[in-house]
Amino acid sequence: MILTITLNPAVDISYRLNHLSIDSVNRVNGVTKTAGGKGLNVARVLHQLEEDVAASGFLGGSLGNFISSQIAELGIQDYFVPIKGETRNCIAVIHDGKQTEILESGPNIDLDEAALFLEKFTVYVQQVDIVTISGSLPKGIANDFYEKLLTIAAEHKTPVLLDTKGELLAITLKSKTKPFLIKPNQDELADLVGKNLAEEADIIDALNTSIFADVPWVVVTLGAKGAIVKNEGIIYRVMAPKVDATNPVGSGDSVIAGFAAGLSRGLKGEDLVKFGLTMGVLNAMEESTGQIDPEKVEWCVGEMEVEKIAGD
């Protein structure tokens, strides 16, 4: 079983607009509301890939109830910890092929709720094979919380795929226990190493810095251009097929789902790279956030081009 962690889930509202102008009235052309936050997108794609999946984090209030009911409808196991605060909304405005995200910061978590989560996580981690941890932290949760989760998971030899960014990622990567996989995009990688990464060679240099020395997999996503992936000293360049991208929101989350599902199926090396990144392409082709068409998986895996560009 795969456990997805979303400490700061959200009802993801996606507004599709024909025209967008600031300082004016904008009418919505199409709207979807889904149980979201990065880890819930991961859980939904894992479920579509027919993986056994449980989802955990904090949920509260009426938006929390909406998310719980969606999780139940999907048949995903609900391991969420109830909180007194109200789960947030996150809005994505899709216009002219571009997306603008407006993200609330989320509820406040008190000390008892945080302690209860750690207690439950210690139990859950013993029942699962892989853990994914995604997204930002809600208020009240300290920046070393992911480090705590990594330490507990390591005690039970459970690999953790971590998808977060900025200071939180930088701090977590300094901990003694490393994640099994991280997935920064080009800007997030630039933030981590403190340099502008204009060329492919800059990305490769960044991947060879000591920050990533003990992280087995680093997947640098480059949007429609594909990805550069480092695994145990080997660096791969990945070219994705050209597709009509309808909604790229949640593509990164879908990549995490792809790698988690690939690992649970025993995929390795180039096969894992192709399978993992396929889910990001397939998500971009769907209207809804964190959604793929499982019928297209075989086709897309076959279209992915992977080349070793450094290492043995």
- Are the CB atoms for 183 and 255 separated by under 8 Å? yes
**Binding of ligand TA6 by 256 (CB under 6 A):** no
Per-residue x/- track, 21-40, ligand TA6 (CB under 6 A): ---------------xxx--
Q: Which is nearer to ligand TA6, 37 or 179 (CB)?
A: 37
**Binding of ligand TA6 by 87 (CB under 6 A):** no
- Angle among Cα 32, 49, 145 to the nearest 5 degrees reads 75
In angstroms, give the least distance from the CB of 252 to ligand TA6. Answer: 6
**Binding of ligand TA6 by 255 (CB under 6 A):** no
Binding segment toward ligand TA6, per CB under 6 A, in 4-12, 196-204, 217-225, 296-304 = 4-12
At 10, give phi and psi (nearest 5°).
Answer: -155, 155
- Angle among Cα 2, 10, 221 to the nearest 5 degrees reads 60
**Binding of ligand TA6 by 172 (CB under 6 A):** no
**Binding of ligand TA6 by 253 (CB under 6 A):** yes
Specify the residue for token string 């990533």.
Answer: 212
- Are the CB atoms for 4 and 40 separated by under 8 Å? yes
- Among 90, 189, 193, 285, contact with ligand TA6 (rule: CB under 6 A): 90
Positions in 40-59 near ligand TA6 (CB under 6 A) = 41
- Among 136, 254, 283, 291, contact with ligand TA6 (rule: CB under 6 A): 136
**Binding of ligand TA6 by 135 (CB under 6 A):** yes
Q: Which is nearer to ligand TA6, 237 or 258 (CB)?
A: 258
Q: Which residue is nearest to ligand TA6 (CB)?
A: 135
How far is residue 131's CA from residue 1's CA, in Å, rounded to a whole number? 9
**DSSP character at residue 212:** G
- From its phi and psi, is residue 232 left (phi > 0), alpha (psi between -120 and 50) or beta? left
Treating both helix axes as pointing N-terminal to C-terminal, what angle do 251-264 and 269-284 enclose, rounded to 10 degrees?
150
Q: Which of 268, 169, 254 is nearest to 217 (CA)?
A: 268
The DSSP element (H or E) to which 121 belongs, if any, is helix 111-124
**Binding of ligand TA6 by 249 (CB under 6 A):** yes
Q: What is the largest CA-CA distance in the chain?
A: 57
- Among 252, 258, 262, 280, contact with ligand TA6 (rule: CB under 6 A): 252
Q: Which of 268, 267, 259, 258 is nearest to 294 (CA)?
A: 258
**Binding of ligand TA6 by 147 (CB under 6 A):** no
Q: Which is nearer to ligand TA6, 72 or 102 (CB)?
A: 102
Instruction: List contacts with ligand TA6 (CB under 6 A).
Output: 8, 10, 12, 36-38, 41, 90, 103, 135-136, 249-250, 252-253, 289
